[in-house]
Amino acid sequence: MKKQITIILALAAAMGLSSCSKNFLNQTDPNAITVGDYFATENDVLLAVNGVYQSLRSENCIGENSGLFTEERSDNTGRNDNQSNSGEPFQFGDFSILPSNTYLSRHWLALYETVSRANTVLSNIDKVTFNNEDTRAGYKAEVKFLRALIYFHLVRKWGDVPLVTKQLSTTADISANTFRTKDTAVYSQIIADLQDVLASPLPNFQTGANIGRISKAAGNALLGQVYLTMATTIDDGKRDEHLAQANTYLSACYNMRNFGQLKEIPYTDVFDVSKKTSCPELILQIVYKQGDATYSSSIAANNQAKGETINSKKEATGVGGNVTGDLVNEYESGDLRKDYSIKYANASIVKDWFITKFRDTSAAAGTNGYGGNDFILIRYADVILMLAEVNMYQGNNTAAIQYLDMVRARAGMPDYATSMMDAAYSAKYPTLKLAILHERRSELAFENHRWYDLLRTFTTDELISYFHAKDQAYFGNARLSNFSSKDRYYPIPYDEWKLDPVKMYQNTGY
């Protein structure tokens, strides 16, 4: 955590964004000035706010290529290499992760870097005079959303975590805040931040140059997901209340949509780089700049396997983004999402499935693979399936199935009632709960939702049984038998634990 604080004190966050062009990927370096002197004008605040957004882009945070911490932790993707980088990436899917894992440590630090950047803005913004108070309120709402988003990732991955909501400037400040806060208190802060977003002057949706910034639609969607997660994972005696709140906020987001039926939006449009500013299904995305060596997307090229050209003009030399055989078998016959999302590569060094969901073969991306793919954080199919989930938990199966069928119709799949008459489908997904989980997996694969979906759907004991019942043959060298109760959470990184082994107590089993 001490390392984290020094990062933000340098205010490496500041970036350039004019009011009339999407240019907030171009960073400036204010390392030579102190935080107290930095915040003088509205534009200084804007640059710092942009810096909070910029921090999301890292593969160590929640940007593209961060699937190691979610998808590889689940049953969607994995790797057979248990030697490279001391085998540390392999530990995630093998459920053999150690507190000393440097990838895990970098993830923790990157998440807290975003939190600290947000706290620095909020601690200094009121020192600045604004011509329009709505501008100040909007900036506050944006960074509060981003802080809430990151704490939502932290609390689901580690449980109790340090909860810091102000700028830390001294060693004494750092020491006073080096302790884990109960998960219920972390959730309370997340909710408070998101309620402030919904009370702010932010628009329902961002458009034009502001795409990629926070909106009220995003606020409703995230708050609904937070309440749904609390209802299914936190034993605080308020399950029904949390489900009611989840339904309220998810419905509010759904009712804000700028389209009729989901099936009006082709699935391929969601990931089409030429439509990333116009597709009405997108609610929030991390922006990447096509053709730019520094701020472009590499997700298309990175996932492409040797001998293939479907993702990128950049020639691939490796096996691409590994897909487990378990996920390949999850897709139903005729599901158009399968053909768009994954492909079998025949190259001699591959002979396996790889990810094709993210593509940019444009001339602008070129043979260097400087893609324009934005990384989608929230979209309407996700919201619709969460509405199916919450209605199912509330006992309203009729409404739940209606939402489920919206997504199945777009994928070219029979409706739920028809599918349940198919012996294979009903055997694999005998309950509506499992059918919704299946649909989320097919729809949202590789978008970093799967691990969190599993945590919401199953208790720890149920999740152990779920993993142990899978066919090991579909997971290569990663041993599913390693999964145990400790794997509900990640270990606290060793360097953070040793700051104060009492207040930064380790998670059980590590």
Summarize pLDDT for 44-69 with one digit per residue, the tens.
999 999 999 999 999 999 999 999 99
Closest by CA to 191, choosing from 235, 239, 229, 138, is: 229
Q: Is the pLDDT of residue 14 over 50?
A: no
Helices (H), 56-132: 88-94, 102-124
Q: Is the pLDDT of residue 498 over 80?
A: yes
Rounded to an integer, the average pLDDT of 245-270 is 98
% of residues, the chain, pLDDT over 70: 93
Cα torsion at 451, 453, 454, 456 (round to 10°)? 130
Res 33: pLDDT: 56
Rounded to an integer, the average pLDDT of 71-93 is 90
Least confident range of 80-84, 99-103, 256-260: 80-84
Over its C-alpha atoms, the chain yields an Rg (Å, rounded) of: 22
Res 15: pLDDT: 33
The tokens describing 303, both together, are 């996932």
Rounded to an integer, the average pLDDT of 414-418 is 98
427 phi/psi in degrees, rounded to 5:
-75, -40
Res 32: pLDDT: 46
Res 84: pLDDT: 75
Provide the 8-state DSSP code for 447: S
- C-alpha–C-alpha distance, residues 379 and 382, integer Å: 6
pLDDT band at 86 (very low <50, low <70, confident <90, very high): confident
- C-alpha–C-alpha distance, residues 291 and 18, integer Å: 20
Alpha carbon 488 to chain centroid, angstroms: 18
Q: Is the pLDDT of residue 493 over 50?
A: yes
The one-letter amino acid at 507: N
Structure-token match 């020491």, residue found: 175
317 phi/psi in degrees, rounded to 5:
-120, -5
How far the first Cα of the chain sits from its last, in Å, is 20
Q: Is the pLDDT of residue 10 over 70?
A: no
Q: Is 274 helix (H, G, I), strand (E, B) or coil?
A: helix
The tokens describing 25, both together, are 């990927």
Alpha carbon 232 to chain centroid, angstroms: 19
* C-beta neighbour count of 109 within 10 angstroms: 19
Res 7: pLDDT: 34
- C-alpha–C-alpha distance, residues 287 and 201, integer Å: 22
Q: Is the pLDDT of residue 143 over 70?
A: yes
Residues near 228 by Cβ (< 8 Å), separated by ≥ 6?
242, 243, 246, 250, 386, 389, 390, 456
Tell me the CATH number for domain 1-201+472-510.
1.25.40.390
Res 3: pLDDT: 41
% of residues, the chain, pLDDT over 90: 90
Across the chain, what does the average pLDDT equal?
93
pLDDT band at 25 (very low <50, low <70, confident <90, very high): very low
Q: What is the 3-state secondary structure (H, E, C) of 278-299?
A: CCCCEEEEECCCCCCCCCCECH
Q: Is the pLDDT of residue 8 over 80?
A: no
Q: Is the pLDDT of residue 36 over 80?
A: no
Closest by CA to 202, choosing from 49, 55, 381, is: 49
Q: Is the pLDDT of residue 11 over 70?
A: no
Q: Is the pLDDT of residue 37 over 60?
A: yes
Q: Is the pLDDT of residue 114 over 70?
A: yes
pLDDT band at 216 (very low <50, low <70, confident <90, very high): very high
CB 312 within 8 A of CB 361: yes
Rounded to an integer, the average pLDDT of 273-288 is 98
For helices 216-233 and 450-457, angle between their N-to-C axes, nearest 10 degrees: 40
The one-letter amino acid at 129: T
pLDDT band at 23 (very low <50, low <70, confident <90, very high): very low
Res 456: pLDDT: 98
- C-alpha–C-alpha distance, residues 167 and 124, integer Å: 9
Tens digit of each residue's pLDDT (9 = 90 or more) over 453-479: 999 999 999 999 999 999 999 999 999
